[in-house]
Amino acid sequence: MLQNKVAIVTGGTRGIGFAVVRTFLQNGAKVALFGSRQETVDKALAQLRAENADWPVVGMSPDLTDYAAVEAAVKAVCEKFGRVDILVNNAGISAREPLYAYDPAAFSNIMDLNVKAVFNGCRAVAPIMKAQGGGAIVNTSSMVSLYGQPAGVGYPASKFAVNGMTKSLARELGPDNIRVNAVAPGVTRTDMVAALPKDMVERISAPIPLRRVGEPQEVANAFLFLASDMASYITGTILSVDGAAMN
């Protein structure tokens, strides 16, 4: 589905991002994964190369909150693979602190990565995609972007902002044939969820109509669809992948 496409995936070292990287590679893309530390980037690359030594994948660790660093990394991907067709803005951190204990610096940190880094990525790739005749940006939102959550206000606020950027940039960049969509996962079995006791995962799953948490692969499939030409007339959409948890 992504033959001859070049993709950048931020937060690609583990969890949902890693599943997206592997799925894109399985579907013929060349992929640059960005992670927070070179050590975890190298570990992810080793894991992928052990699976298939021929996969065209590289990894970098730019500070995503620093525009100049993101621009330089995107330029390096262009030099390596010749173009950029797909950007997945996936790196993100969450928060659970009640407002009464919320450190204002922590609010800024979450906005810097979950919101400003998404802007930085879009800002850096859009001119390249425009010059190439088009592209696809897929952002990672969350089910909390629809209804909020009872603590940790910075996290839902950041994901509401991601939805706002997704819908606004879809309108702005549509004339340049750049599609901008988001995937809004529900509770997904990443390392954090996998480490929870079984009975806690069962409690989390009980109110979800599909009665289970999502698998990273199920979320990655939505990214594959939105990034591919199968979604050529879809832009400005927030696609929920949450077992109807929030519907």
Ligand X SMILES: NC(=O)c1ccc[n+]([C@@H]2O[C@H](COP(=O)([O-])OP(=O)(O)OC[C@H]3O[C@@H](n4cnc5c(N)ncnc54)[C@H](O)[C@@H]3O)[C@@H](O)[C@H]2O)c1
Q: What are 155's two structure tokens? A: 């996290």
Q: Which amino acid belongs to residue 177?
A: N
| Residues between 99 and 138 with contacts to ligand X, criterion CB under 6 A | 113
CB of 192 to ligand X, least distance (A): 6
Q: Between residues 132 and 180, which has the closer beta carbon with respect to ligand X? A: 180
CB of 133 to ligand X, least distance (A): 29
Cβ pair 25, 59 in contact under 8 A = no
Question: Residue 42: which residues within 8 A CB-CB, separation 6 or more?
Answer: 59
Number of chain residues interacting with ligand X (CB under 6 A): 24
Taking the least distance from each CB to ligand X, the nearer of 126 and 138 is 138
Q: Of 67, 100, 102, 155, which is the active-site residue?
A: 155
Q: Which of 157, 161, 145 is nearest to 99 (CA)?
A: 157
Residue 147 known to be catalytic: no
Which residue in the set 2, 13, 85, 223 belongs to the binding site for ligand X (CB under 6 A)? 13
21 binds ligand X (CB under 6 A): no
**139 phi, psi to nearest 5 deg:** -100, 150
Q: Looking at the DSSP assignment, which residues form a beta bridge with residue 180?
A: 137
List C-alpha distances in Å: 41 to 29, 47, 68, 230: 18, 10, 20, 30
Alpha-carbon distance values, 73 to 4, 28, 34, 238 (Å): 20, 22, 9, 27
Q: Does position 163 bind ligand X by CB under 6 A?
A: no
Q: Quick check: 15 binds ligand X (CB under 6 A)?
A: yes
**Rule CB under 6 A: is residue 64 a binding residue for ligand X?**
yes
Q: Does 156 bind ligand X (CB under 6 A)?
A: no
Region near ligand X per CB under 6 A, out of 7-15, 72-80, 198-206, 220-228? 7-15
**Residue 66 in tokens:** 């620093």
Residue 14 interacts with ligand X (CB under 6 A)? yes
Residue 140 binds ligand X, judged by CB under 6 A = yes
* Position 142 contacts ligand X (CB under 6 A): yes
Least Å distance between CB 30 and ligand X?
19
Select the span of 21-29, 75-83, 180-188, 196-204 touching ligand X (CB under 6 A): 180-188
Q: For residue 4, how many other CB atoms are within 10 A of its CB?
A: 9
User: Cβ-count burial of 208 within 10 angstroms (0-12 exposed, 13-18 middle, 19+ buried)?
Assistant: middle
Question: Does 235 contact ligand X by CB under 6 A?
Answer: no
Among 69, 78, 93, 151, binds ligand X (CB under 6 A): 93
Question: Do the Cβ atoms of 154 and 200 come closer than 8 Å?
Answer: no
Give the residue numbers annotated as catalytic, written as ranges: 155
Residues that bind ligand X in the complex, under the rule CB under 6 A: 11-17, 35-36, 40, 64, 90-94, 113, 140, 142, 185, 187-188, 190-191
